[in-house]
Amino acid sequence: MSAKPLAGLRVIELARILAGPWAGQTLADLGAEVIKVEAPEGDDTRQWGPPFIDRDGTPVAAYFHAANRGKRSVVADFRTAEGQAKVKALLADADIVIENFKVGGLKKYGLDYDSLRAEFPRLIYCSITGFGQDGPYAHRAGYDYIIQGMSGLMSITGPAEGEPHRVGVAVTDLFTGVYSTTAVLAAVIERSRTGLGAHVDMSLLDCAVSVMANQAMNYLATGTPPGRTGNWHPNLVPYQVFECSDGHIIIATGNDGQYQRLCRALGLEALITDPRFLANADRVQHRAELSEALTAATRSWSKAGLLKACEDHGIPAGPINTMDEVFADPQIIARGMQLDLGAHPGVRSPFVFNGERSVADRPAPVLGEADRKGASPLCAQARIHPPGYLKSKEARFT
């Protein structure tokens, strides 16, 4: 299997900020040709700094670089007939459109799915919105922070006292980008059977509720909404942050054997036979007492010493790294997670096929780069497709 399994697929990205661009970048890392169509002022996140990274003399926010690797940028003003025609020309041999305008936002330009489906029946058109194409909130704009609150995520995040906390990265945008990638590739497979494209309706709120996973099921099974437990796991004990003499580490026991080994490593054998802590269900019931007993012991250990003891005893544990420690970690280095695309850093997507990493080899583009360099995808003679591209594409993706 090639490390570029989507080579030959063409994606037109009419998206900005994060969820849509994340889907586009994921497809680019997997080998698709992704053309990012930007308004004359560019994707908003080009200005979301500091920090900024210089791109051919133009300062562009690091935020933009995080979600737009491997794409080509063209500029089109949808408000003009020329801009609309330019987009339609791009769609002539495109496979996928990714857009994240508000519901109905592209209709007035003739670029919505219903306006395009007759002319481009094979097009897979992915609409990413805050709340989906129907329902009482469909007209609202969606923002990750708000979705984290509405989905229940913030109701279970943070310490039990004080205000709810958001996750420190825009996880609902990112999950929606990944789910969108899965959905459009499923539509590509379906098109190979039917010859027809599809409209993929992706909602940030839908995706956020979906990934509530065991917490949602805990509620559905009991009728009791779960609350915030800080760094404690709702279903496993001990599975939490522990204090050491010089900081904190995570210990995550997933079964009785691991718990018993932890007790032995800490010299707390009496806790193994304590009836309050025999099985996980017992430990969940008596979480506070067990946590206090274990923490009293871990406070006398250094982080490095306790991590080594856990490693030696087969107890799952790990450090709490800052970002500089992450990229200095030997496992991260061995897996090649930090990219160097010329003068531009990046973080690799997690795909490995037959030992080969799959990642785009170009940094995020300068605004309108393809237009200015005379390499606009509108010019057939300037395209980078190899001979027989369309024929081979038909064989692979239809």
The structure tokens listed for 325 are 């420690």
Task: Using alpha carbons, select from 38, 90, 86 the residue that is nearest to residue 64.
Answer: 38
Q: From CA 331, how far away is CA 387, in angstroms rounded? A: 41
CA atoms of 390 and 306, how far apart (whole Å)? 59
Block residue for tokens 């001990």: 238
Token pair of 227, please?
């609350």
Residue appearing with tokens 């393809």:
370
Cis peptide before 330 (omega within 30 of 0): no
The answer to whether 353 touches 2, Cβ cutoff 8 Å, is: yes
Concatenated DSSP letters of 279-325:
SHHHHHHTHHHHHHHHHHHHTTS-HHHHHHHHHHTT--EEE---HHH
What is each CA distance from 326 to 147, 154, 319, 321, 336, in whole angstroms?
28, 25, 10, 6, 12
Separation of alpha carbons 332 and 90, rounded Å: 38
3-state secondary structure at position 62: helix
Which one from 112, 173, 201, 371 is the annotated catalytic residue?
173
Known active-site residue 173: yes
**Which residues carry out catalysis?**
173
